[in-house]
Amino acid sequence: MNELIKKGIVIIIGSACLAFGINFFLVPDHVLDGGVIGIGLIFHYLWGLQTGLSILLLSIPIFLIAWFNYRTYFYNSLHGLLISSFFIDLFYWLRHFHLSLDPAISSMIGGAFVGGGIGLMLRYQTSTGGTDLLAQMLADFLKINVGIAIFAIDLGVVLSGGLLFSSQTLLLSAITILVVAMTTMLFTTRMTLKN
């Protein structure tokens, strides 16, 4: 029971960090994260769709794969997906209180919050689902650090976003995913060494 409570607290803290980083630092400068979050942000920037809801819907195919092949990951990530998607849309109002920081600095700080939230959850064997879940499955299969798997997936999304928007979006988003990957690796390195 204690383990369940601890995991619940970690999901809430990790989701809050993630939602804060996205809404307060990334969205005001139209910066992308990678993976399903990045695709959700692309949908938001292009069509004004809710980012969290988009993430939830885009994650359904990945969760179907997990249901049939990685049932433990499915159960461990479902709560993270639901809570983080809810928090991202709940913290929407933070977008209006953006600090006047250089966009590159803002991208780094936002990336640190996002990576910290993701890394904290992965450290406790849970995730936000989406490509974090996909990366977790790939990392186990390929025996690599999950941060490297996340970075590879994120890079593909950011390159697509850069083509859709601008070279500035591409550059700032590349900074963000690099910081997300480094922060996630810091949180998960001990976990990988233990396994």
- Dump pLDDT digits (tens) for 91-117: 999 988 877 889 999 999 999 999 999
Neighbours of 93 (CB within 10 A): 8
Q: With CA atoms as reference, report the closest residue to 186 among 132, 134, 148.
A: 148
Q: What is the pLDDT of residue 190?
A: 61
Q: Which residues contact 140 (CB under 8 A, 6 or more apart)?
A: none
pTM of the model: 0.88
Q: What is the pLDDT of residue 192?
A: 46
pLDDT beneath 50, residues of the chain: 192-195
Q: Which residues contact 68 (CB under 8 A, 6 or more apart)?
A: none
H/E element, 142: helix 130-142
